[in-house]
Amino acid sequence: MNEKDRDLFGKAACGAKPIKQDKIGPFRQRRPPVPVQSRLDEKAVLRSLLSDDAESEEIETGEELSFMRPGLQQVAWRKFRRGHYAIEADLDLHGLIVSEARELVDEFLREACEHGKRCVRIIHGKGLSSAGKVPVLKTKVNAWLRQKNEVIAFSSARSAHGGTGAVYVLLRRS
């Protein structure tokens, strides 16, 4: 720096006072906090909504599922069981473990209700590739659907729609 520049700087900084601390921390943009407890609470609620502890009977591979809440008219029940209602959404659970299937079933039913869907199909499989040829997901889906208030009825599908490896689910109008 030459003398001319020093004089110019001295005039420009003549009223300046020295600062007590000359250290400035680096700027770091903070990440938004992760709501860990909220996520844990949501998962706990999901688990409690579809409990595996509910009483469920043993189901055979080819056995048909059938459930109806009181209040559904017999004419509507017969049409529903015969597959006369349009299937508005499908969920395929093949290859999933029970905990994954439970969360997907709950999410699927919630979204179907939010979108005003009335009849959906859940494909749980017949259990032919599971150990002992026991239909694990079929038994669980049977128990879970009975626990959901938005489910009015469910019934094994027609053979063209998966037969005893799938269920039609009739949902309440929102």
Domains of the chain: 36-54+65-171 (3.30.1370.110)
CA angle 58, 94, 40 (to 5 degrees): 85
Name the one residue in this structure whose structure tokens are 């869907």: 117
d(CA 120, CA 171): 8
* Cα dihedral 21, 26, 29, 32 sign: negative
d(CA 110, CA 108): 6
Can you give the pLDDT at residue 22?
66
Can you give the pLDDT at residue 4?
87
Cα separation values, 23 from 13, 15, 26, 157, Å: 20, 21, 10, 72
Can you give the pLDDT at residue 14?
84
d(CA 122, CA 112): 12
Q: Helix or strand or coil: residue 121?
A: strand
Can you give the pLDDT at residue 70?
92
Lookup: tokens for 124 = 């749980």
- Residues pairing with 154 in the sheet: 67, 169
Low-confidence ranges of the chain (pLDDT < 70): 1, 22, 45-62, 129-133, 174
